[in-house]
């Protein structure tokens, strides 16, 4: 099977190179959001009685194609917050996920909870861009970075007051975990084949050093799975497709949270 991740990274590197020609670092630093105080996902996930759900807005994915092209980012994310999301995740990758910077700017203007920029980040320039468009948290994917790159990017993110989720999906990536990465996302989906396996994630979660905050990502579509991950010490649950595939994602989220409470 073709390696989808490599295809995405090649396209992102081309796009970032073009963006650097169009928008200078100084221009990003002048944007209003760049000087705003960021919100802490760590604190949100450690708060009493929080759902732990990082509710995601995404229009499409490489494995499913178009998921929901009619949903409005402002309406959906406001509804996510209203009904108890601990944080919001926004896909900004345009070719495979049909996202954009506009989505994160809209979301961050209507919610008061942390906003995660989910993209394929490999350059300090993208961290400055992330802060400027309103992100509080960024994702670093171990599968497309070396341990040294993770450490350098996470260090720079901290200087910008951005929090970092380091995403891993197999044992070979445990070495990417460092002092600068407190939030560790375990992706249930193999990024090369897009096959989901929750049991492998649970096994991988046991090998994460103590003191790290564990977040389960992908393929979570019922309360039972959340309970299994909670018992394994996970504090966060990144969910998107389960809600976005419905005509009204905000309503689907509300119904899910009501079931969770009961």
Query: What residues act catalytically?
Result: 56, 58, 118, 167, 187, 217-218
Q: Please identify which residue in the block is written with the tokens 């350059």.
A: 123
Alpha-carbon gap, residue 193 to 1, rounded angstroms:
7
Structure tokens at 161: 């007051």
Residue 184 burial by Cβ neighbours in a 10 Å radius (0-12, 13-18, 19+):
buried
Instruction: With beta carbons less than 8 A apart as the criterion, state whether 95 and 8 touch.
Output: yes
Residue 159 burial by Cβ neighbours in a 10 Å radius (0-12, 13-18, 19+):
exposed
161-172: buried (b, 16+ CB within 10 Å) or exposed (e) per residue? ebbbbbbbbbee
C-alpha neighbours within 13 Å on the C-beta side of residue 178: 15
Alpha-carbon gap, residue 108 to 37, rounded angstroms:
12
């Amino acid at each position: 099977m073709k390696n989808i991740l490599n295809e995405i990274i090649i396209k992102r590197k081309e796009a970032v190179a073009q963006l650097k020609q169009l928008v200078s670092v100084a221009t990003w630093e002048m944007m209003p959001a760049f000087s705003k105080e960021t919100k802490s996902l760590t604190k949100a996930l450690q708060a009493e009685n929080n759902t732990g759900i990082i509710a995601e807005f995404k229009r499409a994915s490489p494995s499913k194609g178009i998921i929901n092209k009619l949903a409005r980012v402002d309406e959906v994310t406001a509804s996510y917050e209203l009904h108890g999301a601990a944080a919001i995740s926004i896909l900004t990758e345009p070719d495979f996920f049909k996202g954009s910077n506009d989505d994160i700017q809209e979301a961050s203007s209507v919610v008061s909870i942390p906003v995660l920029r989910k993209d394929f980040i490999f350059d300090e320039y993208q961290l400055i861009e992330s802060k400027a468009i309103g992100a509080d948290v960024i994702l670093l994917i171990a599968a497309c970075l070396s341990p040294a790159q993770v450490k350098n990017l996470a260090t720079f993110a901290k200087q910008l007051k951005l929090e970092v989720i380091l995403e891993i999906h197999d044992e070979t990536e445990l070495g990417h975990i460092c002092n600068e990465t407190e939030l560790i996302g375990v992706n249930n989906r193999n990024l090369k084949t897009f096959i989901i396996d929750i049991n492998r994630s649970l096994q991988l979660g046991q090998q994460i050093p103590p003191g790290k905050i564990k977040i389960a990502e992908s393929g979570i579509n019922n309360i039972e799975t959340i309970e299994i991950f909670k018992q394994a010490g996970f504090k966060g649950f990144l969910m998107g497709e389960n809600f976005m595939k419905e005509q009204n994602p905000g309503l689907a989220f509300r119904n899910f949270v009501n079931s969770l409470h009961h």
